[in-house]
Amino acid sequence: MDKLVHAIAAEGTVRVLAATTTGIVSEAVRRHQTSPTVSAALGRMLTGTLLLGATLKDFDRLTVKVEGDGPVGAITAEATKDGTVRGYVKNAVAELPMKENGKFDVAGIVGSGTFYVIREAGYDIGFRPEPYIGSVPIVSGEIAEDFAYYLANSEQIPSAVMLGVLLSSTEPFVTAAGGVMIQMMPGANEHIITMIEDTIRHAPHVTEMIREGASPADLAEMALGIIDFEVLEEREVSFACNCSFEKAVAMVAGLGREEVEAILAEEKQAVMTCGFCNETYLLDENDLKKILNEFS
């Protein structure tokens, strides 16, 4: 089971978020049938969004999107305070050759463009004021650096972000996935910041640790080195979507009587597929007739 920890260090001036997301990324890859490089990019995006989403208030929603000129087109992920995340890509089968160092060319698959963060307050209870939308240029396309650049430049939170996805050529294709996000809060000591930067510079890759059984707390300890920390919260996290058959029915009904009548006459059914999770909902002839009866 994937887990996330929220911790603080240095008398509350350093916030640490760490998660193992192997199951989450595996589920996303299974649902969207992504190519290896897109799997790595989507997995990093889901993990980063989940980590940032852990700072949300109850009932809020966070959406992160990269829109680049690379083959994948765009990657979108959405997280909630309760530890769920979902996401999708525009072109799931896009692919590029491996880089000379044997790594996936995530930067190449993403390309140049814009990194967006959308925060919606009270979304889950119907209280929906204008969302906050922040954006910065994509600085690397490697995803982790783009999260850090956004936090530093749009929200003025100096941050270090490590995200990773380790894949294999056989099932289960996702061997390990996870990440760490360290945020320097107001009052953070420069000496502490230098220590953390040096520790991260020499740290092992997060996926290697996860493959060997590391927990989110282990990842936090790895990133902080000798700096003590306090875990405020540990929770299970998962890939989850809020789509449903009822929402599919509502979407078809929203087309209007004439359009539903045309679908019933011509197709006898309606098929709705959720972009976020690729779940398909079939509305048969009886379902369409029920919708029409509601117009009466």
DSSP assignments along 14-37, one per residue: EEEEEEE-HHHHHHHHHHHT--HH
Residue type, 155: E
| Of 99, 84, 89, 6, the residue nearest 45 (C-alpha) | 89
Interacting residues of 259 by C-beta distance below 8 A, sequence separation 6+: none
Contact between 34 and 42 (Cβ < 8 Å): yes
For domain 245-294, the CATH superfamily is HSP33 redox switch-like (3.90.1280.10)
The rounded distance, in Å, linking the Cα atoms of 18 and 240 is 19
pLDDT for the residue 125:
52
For residue 53, the model assigns a pLDDT of 94
Would you list the domain boundaries of the chain?
Answer: 3-239, 245-294
The single-letter code of the amino acid at 294 is E
> Among 63, 65, 93, which residue's Cα sits nearest to residue 80?
63
- State the CB neighbour count (10 A cutoff) for residue 175: 16
Please tell me the distance from the alpha carbon of residue 221 to that of residue 226, in angstroms, as a whole number. Answer: 8
Coil, strand or helix at 241: coil
Phi-psi domain of 89 (left: phi exceeds 0; alpha: psi -120 through 50; beta: other): beta
For residues 24-58, b (16+ Cβ closer than 10 Å) or e, as one string?
bbbbbbebbebbbbbbbbbbbbbbbbbbbbbbbee
Longest pairwise C-alpha distance within the chain? 72
Per-block average pLDDT, block size 10, for the chain (296 residues)?
Answer: 95 96 97 96 98 87 96 97 94 95 94 96 64 94 96 94 92 92 90 90 93 97 94 96 94 92 91 94 93 84
Give SS3 for 55. Answer: coil
Four-way CATH pick for 3-239: 1.10.357.10, 3.50.50.60, 3.40.50.80, 3.55.30.10? 3.55.30.10
pLDDT of residue 294: 85
